[in-house]
Amino acid sequence: MNKLIENYESKDVINQPLFIKGVLKGATDKGAPYLTITLQDKSGSIHAKLWNVTNAQEDIAVVGKVVFISGDIIEYNNQLQLRIRNISELDQKSVSMDDFIIKSNVSISKLKNEINEAISSIENQNYKNMILKVYEMVGEDFYQYPAAARIHHSFLGGLAVHVSSMIKLGNLICNLYPQLNRDLLISGILAHDIGKMIEFNGPITTEYTLEGKLIGHISIMQGYLMQIAKELNIEDSEESILLRHMVLSHHGKLEYGSPILPMIQEAEVLYLIDNMDARLNTLETALKQVKPGSFTPRLFSLENRAFYKPND
């Protein structure tokens, strides 16, 4: 029986199939080639190093394939790492991908109900019609895509989980601050990251498409909203302009990729709750991988800080 990644311990010897989520090429100071490989099963992922990589091994280490890995688990910077001794091909037809894909712990039916309830609760007809068009366009695929390639909610169904969590936060904040336009905030939450379904090439390997690299999910979604507004003959309405502003400004800062800063209070709240949910999911994942009483590795997306995991 293969050991799940979440149960790996230092000094374990590994001989089992694992899914290749990511591959980065590197070279030592002396010029020796190596690979940094992100390996995954249904329980989680682990970074691995393949030193002195040969051309044959490099040909085998392809993103999206399940391969047979032999190696040792070591502890490096308070985090477990796999030192690969050998990597070999497997017949992909013999592989059950259910054993290697990290999925949402929330059922699709529950997520669908939460999303549909949120759409139904929008009272402003222009916002509601635009969002209905968006979700007709994306269909069932929405419940498969991750919210990011690697940093937060990077699992099957992660996008829907992210949006669902943000809806809950949005409702709580609107109850506390009644000056907010709830219809606009909820519509912005529902629309803000849909462009990622074009930015990424699929829900499993999750690499960036050419359009994703050159245009990005924010501009992609603003374009779709403009197209939808024209189809509905409301492109000049305030609702169309405000919803597009929500999408364009939801990263909150120019250096974070927003082409414009939030200039309405709902856009500011969208940025804050998007950032909060993403950061807490990043921390949840990182803290699961370290023992109580120790620190995580430095987390690039959290200002390169290491976080302590209390013993309690």
Q: pTM for the whole thing?
A: 0.86
Question: Which tens digits make up the pLDDT trace of 126-167?
Answer: 999 999 999 999 999 999 888 776 667 778 888 999 999 999
**How high is the pLDDT of residue 280?**
94
For the ranges 76-80, 250-254, 286-290, the one whose mean pLDDT is highest? 250-254
- One-letter amino acid for residue 278 of the chain: A
**How high is the pLDDT of residue 113?**
96
Long-range contacts formed by 291-295: CB under 8 A, 24+ apart: 294/78, 295/78
**Cβ–Cβ < 8 Å for 211, 220:** yes
Tell me the CATH number for domain 5-99.
Answer: 2.40.50.140
**How high is the pLDDT of residue 150?**
67
Strand partners, 82: 48, 73
Tell me the CATH number for domain 108-285.
Answer: 1.10.3210
Check whether 103 has a pLDDT greater than 90: no
Q: pLDDT exceeding 70 applies to what percent of the chain?
A: 98
Question: Which tens digits make up the pLDDT trace of 207-220?
Answer: 788 998 899 899 99
How does residue 310 score in pLDDT terms, banded at 50, 70 and 90?
Answer: very high
Per the structure block, which two tokens stand in for 88?
Answer: 């070999």
The reply to whether 108-285 shares the fold of 5-99 is no
**Cβ–Cβ < 8 Å for 239, 124:** yes
Check whether 312 has a pLDDT greater than 80: no
Contacts of 56 (CB under 8 A, 6+ apart): none
Number of alpha helices (DSSP H) and beta strands (DSSP E) in the chain? 10, 7
Check whether 298 has a pLDDT greater than 90: no
The SS3 call for residue 266 is helix
Contacts of 224 (CB under 8 A, 6+ apart): 134, 137, 194, 195
76/185: higher pLDDT: 185
**How high is the pLDDT of residue 87?**
94
Question: Which tens digits make up the pLDDT trace of 45-60?
Answer: 899 999 999 999 999 9
Domain boundaries, the chain: 5-99, 108-285
Q: How far apart are CA 168 and CA 187, in angstroms?
A: 13
Count the residues in the chain. 312
**How high is the pLDDT of residue 149?**
67
Beta-carbon neighbour count of residue 258 at 10 Å?
A: 18
**How high is the pLDDT of residue 44?**
86
